[in-house]
């Protein structure tokens, strides 16, 4: 599978748009402002959107992205998410006030979008990729995704705080080639990170150190723009993190 990180920022004003990762041509993980990197034609190739949770930096471009598909698709785009996330999207976004309900447009028989509810540890197979959602701890119901094909195992842990839950979930997965962990705040803002369900360099390092099977690669994502340059300097200076990739 081909992994194209379109956006990896934890907000607006960073080096990229917010979280959006394109898998091959047709699967999108989260629908943050990173989608803006794609051409219209590339957007119209997307058939599946996997959402980690309902926070706005991960869903902000979903409504307008879907609007680009009118007249270009007979088959609806499937938005895969936890039932709780689907409910929030229905109530707060696709409610005819913020945006139309695209599960009914242009018609209920042939809508632009349909929802598909995910359950942790119930895999979904899209083409040759087995996608397994797993629960993480954030401030709203949130899932990470394990994506596995014959070539590689890619694991995106979404927004999460460091916890026994996270370690337990990651240790249940097979050998991981690429593990993407978020790091939103510096260690001096540890209290804020814990309260808001996020990680700092120290908690990221502790998590990686405690994994039963170390991943081949670690990628760091979701730097909050206010702390981005500071966090990049911390990782660049840390001898334990020299093989890590701080996205993009
Ligand atoms: Zn986020
Ligand atoms: Zn979040």
pLDDT of residue 142: 98
d(CA 191, CA 152) in angstroms, rounded, equals: 36
* Exposure string for 112-136, b = 16+ CB within 10 A, e = fewer: bbebeebeeeeebebeebebbbbbb
Q: Which CATH fold would you assign to the domain 3-246?
A: Metallo-beta-lactamase; Chain A (3.60.15)
Task: Give 184 Cα–ligand 1 centroid separation in angstroms.
Answer: 8
pLDDT of residue 62: 98
Query: Looking at the CA of 19, which ligand is closest?
Result: 1
Domain segments of the chain as ranges: 3-246
Task: Give 220 Cα–ligand 1 centroid separation in angstroms.
Answer: 13
d(CA 90, CA 100) in angstroms, rounded, equals: 10
Tens of pLDDT, residues 217-236: 999 999 999 999 999 999 99
pLDDT of residue 18: 98
Rounded to two decimals, the pTM is 0.97
Task: Give 55 Cα–ligand 2 centroid separation in angstroms.
Answer: 5
Tokens of 71: 């007249």
pLDDT of residue 71: 85
Tens of pLDDT, residues 56-113: 999 999 999 999 998 888 899 999 999 999 999 999 999 999 999 999 999 999 999 9
Question: What is the overall mean pLDDT for the chain?
Answer: 96
Smallest CA-to-CA distance from 143 within 178, 107, 119 is with 119
d(CA 86, CA 135) in angstroms, rounded, equals: 16
Query: Looking at the CA of 141, which ligand is closest?
Result: 2
């Amino acid at each position: 599978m081909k992994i194209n990180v379109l956006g990896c920022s934890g907000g607006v004003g960073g080096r990229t748009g917010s979280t959006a990762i394109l898998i091959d041509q047709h699967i999108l993980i989260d629908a943050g402002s990173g989608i803006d990197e794609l051409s219209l034609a590339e957007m119209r190739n997307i058939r599946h959107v996997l959402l980690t949770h309902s926070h706005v930096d991960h869903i902000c471009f979903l409504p307008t992205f879907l609007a680009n598909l009118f007249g270009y698709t007979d088959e609806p785009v499937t938005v895969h998410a936890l039932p709780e996330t689907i409910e929030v999207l229905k109530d707060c976004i696709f409610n005819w006030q913020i945006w139309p309900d695209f599960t009914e447009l242009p018609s209920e028989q042939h809508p632009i979008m349909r929802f598909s509810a995910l359950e942790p540890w119930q895999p979904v197979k899209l083409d040759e990729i087995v996608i397994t959602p797993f629960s993480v701890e954030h401030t709203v119901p949130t899932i990470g995704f394990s994506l596995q094909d014959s070539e590689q195992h890619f694991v995106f842990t979404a927004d999460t705080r460091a916890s026994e839950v996270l370690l337990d979930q990651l240790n249940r997965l097979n050998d991981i080639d690429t593990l993407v962990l978020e790091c939103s705040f510096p260690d001096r803002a540890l209290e804020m990170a814990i309260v808001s369900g996020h990680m700092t360099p120290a908690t990221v390092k502790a998590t990686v150190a405690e994994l039963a099977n170390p991943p081949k690669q670690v990628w760091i994502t979701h730097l909050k723009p206010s702390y981005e340059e500071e966090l990049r300097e911390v990782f660049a200076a840390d001898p334990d993190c020299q093989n890590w990739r701080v996205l993009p």
